[in-house]
Amino acid sequence: MPVDKGRVTAKYRKPGAWAAGFHTGVDFGVPTGTPVKAVGPGTVVTAGWDNAYGNYVVLKMADGLFTLYAHMSQLGVGSGQAVGGGTQLGLSGATGNVTGPHLHFEARTANRYHGHTDPMAYLAGHGVARAKRSTARKTAAKKVTAKKATARKVAAKKAPAKRPATYTVKAGDTLSGIALAKLGAARRYLEIARLNGIANPDAISAGQRLKLPQG
């Protein structure tokens, strides 16, 4: 990882007021002065200042891709320098366009602003343990969500259509008594009467089958 114990404070492609309309890297919230390290072997192609990135470093990695480390308070390497994985590139800070100290880390397929790719997936693809765990959690969460959605669809298809609830009148029953026993409120006898087209609520007889309101 580019910093130890860094908490992700802005994920890749998070929508917002960035120039691209979304976040082109991942932010790790760390205190100013936290060592920033190369995530693998490569060569420094840029070590300097940019108004947005502040003090930043770009490495061309051994695999041909590029990684960028921005907003540093101090730089510890220079252009053309070869570095190994874990080499300290400088110290984190809050230079450039920031709201607080953090490391902005990017992975790029080409060394230009719109050359970005998912930095956590890049790290995970190179066996970086914490990034692999993070990516695995996201993948697992997506799978669980997809499984739940599929299960709901299957259950909806399998579920039999609800039949209207009914009640067979017994000797001595009244509509208000049926409403109290089956619907929880005697006053709902009017609903039963309307549902069954009963003009006189007192005119019910034993054996008569009544439809009951739903809900």
Q: Which of 201, 209, 196 is nearest to 168 (CA)?
A: 209
Residue 63 is assigned to a structural domain of this protein: yes
Lowest-pLDDT choice from 48-52, 77-81, 85-89, 132-136: 132-136
**Other Cβ atoms within 10 Å of 66 Cβ, number:** 22
State whether 118 and 21 are in the same domain. Answer: yes
**How many folded domains does the chain comprise?**
2
Interhelix angle 189-196/175-183, nearest 10 degrees:
110
> Which range, 85-89, 182-186, 195-199, is most confident?
85-89
CATH number, domain at 185? 3.10.350.10
CATH number, domain at 40? 2.70.70.10
Residue 36 is assigned to a structural domain of this protein: yes
Residue 148 is assigned to a structural domain of this protein: no
Q: What is the DSSP letter of 65?
A: -
**Other Cβ atoms within 10 Å of 93 Cβ, number:** 23
State whether 116 and 181 are in the same domain. Answer: no
What is residue 36's three-state secondary structure? strand
| Final residue of a structural domain among 67, 102, 126 | 126
Pair 91, 36: CB distance under 8 Å: yes
State whether 35 and 95 are in the same domain. Answer: yes
Residue 97 is assigned to a structural domain of this protein: yes
Rounded Cα–Cα distance for residues 41 and 51 (Å): 27
Q: Which residue has the tokens 């990017």?
A: 106
Residue 143 is assigned to a structural domain of this protein: no
Residue 133 is assigned to a structural domain of this protein: no
pLDDT of residue 151: 75
Helical (H) or strand (E) element with 146: helix 129-158
**What digits encode the pLDDT tens for the residues 95-109?**
999 999 999 999 999
Residue 131 is assigned to a structural domain of this protein: no
The one catalytic residue among 102, 104, 114, 116: 102
Q: In Å, how far from its chain's centre is CA 149?
A: 16
Mean pLDDT of the chain: 89
Burial code of 20-46, b = ≥16 C-beta within 10 A, e = fewer?
eeebbbbbbbbebebebbbbbebebeb
State whether 103 and 37 are in the same domain. Answer: yes
Q: Quick check: 63 pLDDT over 80?
A: yes
Residue 160 is assigned to a structural domain of this protein: no
**What digits encode the pLDDT tens for the residues 134-189?**
666 666 666 677 777 777 777 667 655 556 689 999 988 998 899 999 998 988 99
Give the structural domain span for 122.
7-126
Q: What is the mean pLDDT of residues 51-76?
A: 97
- Residue 23 falls in the annotated catalytic set: no
State whether 29 and 96 are in the same domain. Answer: yes
Q: Which of 9, 14, 17 is nearest to 97 (CA)?
A: 17
State whether 75 and 15 are in the same domain. Answer: yes
**210 DSSP β-pair partners:** 167
Q: How far is CA 49 from CA 36, 71, 102, 134, in A?
A: 16, 9, 16, 31
The 3-class secondary structure across 118-133, one letter per residue, is CHHHHHHHCCCHHHHH
Q: How far is CA 21 from CA 13, 16, 18, 98, in A?
A: 9, 6, 5, 16
**Which has more pLDDT, 206 or 153?**
206
